[in-house]
Structure 1
């Protein structure tokens, strides 16, 4: 008997649907006509053991116990899914061969591998286990995947990487959460102060942005415009480009801070000749944006519809599992296998049928165009989020589902539209010895931009000019502006910051490394991390803006700075990626981490707790846990209040 082990029931059913019929439905699995079986996990069936599972003394939180570092790591069955774990283990023992059908990512790999480990596979079964990678739940795609199975042994490094992450999160979050909760208790704070390798640097981003805004002092700066006229009466404006001699009167961004200097320039150019010194006209183009990965989709959905990252992820899961209208949604990839190009007509036909696209936009597409998204070399375990070829018989989508589906469909359609082309013109004038610059963009072809609703940018049109031509400056004008503080984070800009975390790092070497990684968190976890910070009372919403609370500020100010900066925590992802690529062993990641945590505990013992005086905990803030996908009911138990969060 061949046993297929899926990550979740919906995936299990999708696999069974293409296997020989008739089927027999049993408790926790499906038996197909040839005797093979399909079973499933329900998310993680196993979880990291709690500290008190290693030693009952750890039930009481005490600084003297820290750091807690298990000598032999333990998993334990999750109470709610214990029955399904027993079913899977029993079927594993009965099976002649196994197929691992976890989701096509690091977490999906570990999720099934840890069950196989728990079942104590024989070496023969371990070596013969196959890996099934499914990113589209429609029957044709599942059949195709079944014909392209690989050896599960190929994915061992990916599983080790996920295991290293899970254990590192446990060590880091459990120890630092206990340590700083005990620090807070010194000041009478009654809640749990959770610390995590990703959530804390994300909170740090928001706190530092809020502090920067609070401390910002606006200052005026001045620009000079030369209003110029040709002999034929046509007019345009050019902006003064200050010379090096003006630097003492400018800030680091090249803005003139002295009004008298600007007024002097404006007076000098009045009623003077303006000579054309340079004309540069460059053809430019923007290629269509790549299809979505999850973060890019969450950012656009927040900007367009005000949807939270978690709402977008939940909607995507429904579009993938329930409706089967999109491919695997937790993808961090924005490229598509070249083989999918041949399916474009069916995919666009389905998107049109399902109201994801309009007939006019589909008809204007050129299916012979091949954008740079079709690239096998850049596709790994999963590809970009795109529509599937499934057609709905009736309108079945809710408002948010339809909006997200339309975004995904339009981004896919853009791959069959030409580039946006325009001419960028730059003219340099000399007036009374000063340099003035005028710029203009002229649209040549809208291309893919026809698909997107964007604010129409007012086109600056320059008259026809000749090199050396003399014009007349009939007016010099001083424009007073004021420096603006940075904006508060929104969900979209915070997600963007998490994915492009290198922008917030000063160290050039670390910045270089981070540009090659996925940033803080993963596509699958970012929405949950932001949501968690709200639930724990560290962040609050003010309209679309995200602000830190007093509690969030107090925690960041009390923690060592390097705990709340993205540098080290984002580098974790780089090291985990190296483990997955067999470029770094597990121990070279874990051993230094254990020493580092011991150092953090020592610093916690002598930290100042006074910032927590008088602060109250939020209801959710007192119930952190390391377990994934826990129920609300279990979250409220006394034991879970004693667990801390990654």
Structure 2
């Protein structure tokens, strides 16, 4: 008997549906007509044990206990899913062959592997275990996946890498949270101070941005335009390019801060001759943007509809599990396998029915186009998020589901349109010794940009000129502008900062690592991290803006710089990636982490967090878990109450806090 272990019941049902019938639902599994069984986890069936499971003394938070480092790690069943774990124990014992059907990512690999190990499955069964990788729940895709089972042993390094990150996050979160919380009590801060490898640098980004906004002083700067006229009376403008001699009147970004200088230039060029020094017209083209991964989708949905990152993830989970209209949504990949191109016509038909507003876009598509998105070398466990060949019945999608589906479908259709083609024109003039430049871009073929509804505004077309042509500068004009403060983060820009975190790192080597990895957090966790910080009262939403609270700022100021910054993630991701490629070792990674953790604990213990003095602990906020859930890899979002020291309620609250920070961020 073959036993398939899916990550969730929805995936189990999809697998069972394509196996020989009839199917019969039993207690915790589905029996198929050929005798094979399909069971499931419900997200993580197991969770890291709390510190007091290793030593009852850890129930009380004391600095002398830190750092808490388990000699032998313990997992415990999540209370609400013990029954399913018991069912799997019996099923794995009876099965002749096991098939791992966790989600196609690092956490999905660990999720089932840890259950197999916890249940004590014999080594012989574990060696013969197979891996089923499914990213589309529709029957045809599931059948194809079943024909391509791989040995689960090929994915052991991926599981070890996920395990290392899980344990490292527990160590980091538990120890630094306890250390800072205990120090906070010394200055009267009576609440939990949660620290995490990912959540804390994200909070640090917002705090730094808010302070830059508050400290910003707007200054005027000046640009000079030359209004030019050709011999046949065509008019246009060119902008002055200050020379090195003007540097002392410019800021770091090259803006001219002297009104007198700008007015002098404008006066000097008025009525004078303009000589063309260079004239170029270059054709250009731009391929369609790649299909979405989760972060790119969340960013665009936030910009287009003001949706939160969590709201987009919830809609995606529903489109994937309930409606089966899109492929696996927690993907970090933006490419597609070449073989998927053959399904384009079926997907077009599904889009036409599921999103009638895109019927015209479907009609204008060319299924023979096969661009850069189809690249097998770029596809690993999962591919980009795209529509499936399944159609939605009219009226079955919620407003948010329909909006997200339309974005995904439009991005997919763009792959079947020609490149956007244009001409870039640049004219350089010399007027009274000064250099002036005019630039313009004109579209020659909108290609995929036609799907955006309109081509972006373009500058008026420039006249055809040649080097040596002479024009009249009718007048010079001084344009006064004001420097603008940085904008507050929104869901879209904060997600963009998390995915592009490399630009916030000074060390070139670390920047390179972060550019080549997931950035800060993963596709599966970023939305949960933002919501977690809001729930804990460190961040707040003000309209679309995300701002830091007094408690959030105090927390950041109380921490060493290396905890506030994203550099640690780069170090970890480099080691974890090497581990996943069989080039790094688990024990070396954990040993280095334990050494650095001890140093941080000592550093925190030697300082008094004055930044928290006089600040009230944030009030508890209710966290509403969406359909996507706070599952694998996502941060726990339990409220962390401000406990009264010494009281029974306070002790209970602090125990809850301990559990909350033992999450993966």
TM-score (norm 2): 0.94
2:599 aligned residue: 599
In the TM superposition, residue 120 of structure 1 has moved relative to its aligned partner by 1.6
Say if 1:270 and 1:475, in contact at 8 Å, map to a contact too: yes
SS of the residue corresponding to residue 190 of structure 2 reads coil
Larger deviation, residues 243-252 vs 140-149: 243-252
SS of the residue corresponding to residue 415 of structure 2 reads helix
SS of the residue corresponding to residue 563 of structure 2 reads helix
Say if 1:439 and 1:460, in contact at 8 Å, map to a contact too: no
Matched, 1:332 2:332: yes
TM-score (norm 1): 0.97
2:646 aligned residue: none
1:67 aligned residue: 67
Over residues 68-119 of structure 1, what are the superposed CA-to-partner deviations in whole Å (9 max), with x where a residue is unaligned?
0001111111111111101101100110000000000001000000011012
2:647 aligned residue: none
Hey, what's the Cα distance between the residues in 2 that align with 1:379 and 1:356?
Answer: 30
2:489 aligned residue: 489
Residues 78-97 of structure 1 aligned to structure 2 (within 5 Å)? 78-97=78-97
SS of the residue corresponding to residue 282 of structure 1 reads strand
SS of the residue corresponding to residue 421 of structure 2 reads strand
Matched, 1:419 2:425: no
2:305 aligned residue: 305
Say if 2:89 and 2:119, in contact at 8 Å, map to a contact too: yes
In the TM superposition, residue 188 of structure 1 has moved relative to its aligned partner by 1.8
Hey, what's the Cα distance between the residues in 1 that align with 2:78 and 2:28?
Answer: 16
Count of residue pairs the alignment pairs up: 645
Say if 1:189 and 1:612, in contact at 8 Å, map to a contact too: yes
In the TM superposition, residue 455 of structure 1 has moved relative to its aligned partner by 7.4
Computed over aligned residues only, the root mean square deviation of the Cα atoms, in angstroms, reads: 1.9
Larger deviation, residues 472-481 vs 255-264: 255-264
Q: Say if 1:324 and 1:626 are closer, same or farther in 2 by CA, change over 3 A.
A: closer
1:529 aligned residue: 529
2:478 aligned residue: 478
SS of the residue corresponding to residue 34 of structure 2 reads coil
Hey, what's the Cα distance between the residues in 2 that align with 1:157 and 1:333?
Answer: 20
2:215 aligned residue: 215
Say if 2:441 and 2:458, in contact at 8 Å, map to a contact too: no
In the TM superposition, residue 359 of structure 1 has moved relative to its aligned partner by 2.1
In the TM superposition, residue 282 of structure 1 has moved relative to its aligned partner by 0.8
SS of the residue corresponding to residue 485 of structure 1 reads coil
Unaligned runs of at least 5 residues, structure 1? none
Hey, what's the Cα distance between the residues in 2 that align with 1:345 and 1:319?
Answer: 20
Hey, what's the Cα distance between the residues in 1 that align with 2:212 and 2:461?
Answer: 39
2:443 aligned residue: 443
In the TM superposition, residue 459 of structure 1 has moved relative to its aligned partner by 2.6
Larger deviation, residues 176-185 vs 603-612: 603-612
Say if 1:626 and 1:643, in contact at 8 Å, map to a contact too: no
Over residues 402-431 of structure 1, what are the superposed CA-to-partner deviations in whole Å (9 max), with x where a residue is unaligned?
000000000000000011111000000111
In the TM superposition, residue 574 of structure 1 has moved relative to its aligned partner by 2.7
SS of the residue corresponding to residue 172 of structure 2 reads helix
Hey, what's the Cα distance between the residues in 1 that align with 2:619 and 2:305?
Answer: 29
Say if 2:104 and 2:381, in contact at 8 Å, map to a contact too: yes
2:659 aligned residue: 643
Larger deviation, residues 184-193 vs 442-451: 184-193
Q: Say if 1:89 and 1:511 are closer, same or farther in 2 by CA, change over 3 A.
A: same
In the TM superposition, residue 570 of structure 1 has moved relative to its aligned partner by 3.3
1:201 aligned residue: 201
Residues 161-180 of structure 1 aligned to structure 2 (within 5 Å)? 161-180=161-180
1:245 aligned residue: 245
Hey, what's the Cα distance between the residues in 2 that align with 1:614 and 1:222?
Answer: 45
Larger deviation, residues 630-639 vs 521-530: 630-639
SS of the residue corresponding to residue 380 of structure 1 reads coil
Q: Say if 1:628 and 1:257 are closer, same or farther in 2 by CA, change over 3 A.
A: closer
Hey, what's the Cα distance between the residues in 2 that align with 1:332 and 1:160?
Answer: 19
Q: Say if 1:635 and 1:474 are closer, same or farther in 2 by CA, change over 3 A.
A: closer
1:564 aligned residue: 564
Instruction: Provide runs of 4+ in structure 1 moved above 4 Å.
Output: 625-638
Matched, 1:395 2:411: no
Residues 99-138 of structure 1 aligned to structure 2 (within 5 Å)? 99-138=99-138
Hey, what's the Cα distance between the residues in 1 that align with 2:632 and 2:523?
Answer: 19
Larger deviation, residues 392-401 vs 264-273: 392-401
2:410 aligned residue: 410
Say if 2:6 and 2:100, in contact at 8 Å, map to a contact too: yes
Say if 1:356 and 1:410, in contact at 8 Å, map to a contact too: no
1:520 aligned residue: 520
In the TM superposition, residue 499 of structure 1 has moved relative to its aligned partner by 0.2
